[in-house]
Amino acid sequence: MSEVINVIKRRRSVRAYQEEQIKEHELQAILEAGLWAPSAHNSQPWHLTVIQDPDLIRYISEVSIEDMVNSSVELVARLGQSGRSIFYNAPTVIIVSGKKEGLLDPVIDCSAAVQNMLLAAEALDIGSCWIGLIRFFFNHEEDVKKLQLPEEYKPFYAVCLGYKAQPNGQGAARTSNTVSYIH
């Protein structure tokens, strides 16, 4: 079977990281994979912001958690009440932003970039997790300015990266009856 398929099947959302920062050449390979994602009409509407400042990572998580606690969604409120970092103490966080203006949907293109980065990380045996809960931080305009995003971009997601604290476990069984054929 193709190594790409093996990487896809092996990848898991990692929620426990070693303290050691990932190597620069590994980070660059992961970023490059994201930048080579497909995009509608090759628009490449993404911007990637790498954060390795532990104080800023902690601050973003704390602001997010404060809002999560008051969420009307029970699971989100429970996660906020746990007080656990939304980045699981990963040493690197990448903010994935897309262009605000345009005819196309940058969220979809940025999602493809995220998936490419997750797969590249797994190919390098680096843990990763796609973080949607960061949207709570993105609601704080003044705080978002700390990310120093170019003006024409809006943040969508985050990816946390780091060396895995433990090997990946077995993945959950895939749901059945999710493919139909029309001949």
Answer whether residue 174 shows pLDDT above 90: no
- pLDDT digit string (tens) for 84-117? 999 999 999 999 999 998 778 999 999 999 999 9
- pLDDT digit string (tens) for 13-48? 999 999 999 999 999 999 999 999 999 999 999 999
- What count of residues does the chain have? 183
Q: What angle do CA 47, 112, 170 make, to 5 degrees?
A: 120
Count of C-beta atoms within a 10 Å radius of residue 31: 17
Structure tokens given for 6: 């093996």
The three-state (H, E, C) secondary structure of 67-78, written as one string? HHCCCCCHHHHH
pTM of the model: 0.94
The pLDDT-based confidence of 1 (bands split at 50, 70, 90) is low
Positions of E strands within the chain: 46-51, 92-99, 127-131, 153-162
Positions of E strands within 25-88: 46-51
φ and ψ at 49, to 5 degrees? -115, 115
Complete domains list, the chain, with CATH? 10-162 (3.40.109.10)
- pLDDT digit string (tens) for 70-92? 999 999 999 999 999 999 999 99
Could you tell me which of 19, 17, 1 has the C-alpha nearest to residue 9?
Answer: 1
d(CA 156, CA 47): 10
R_g (Cα) of the chain, nearest Å: 17
d(CA 24, CA 21): 9
Longest dimension (CA), the chain: 56
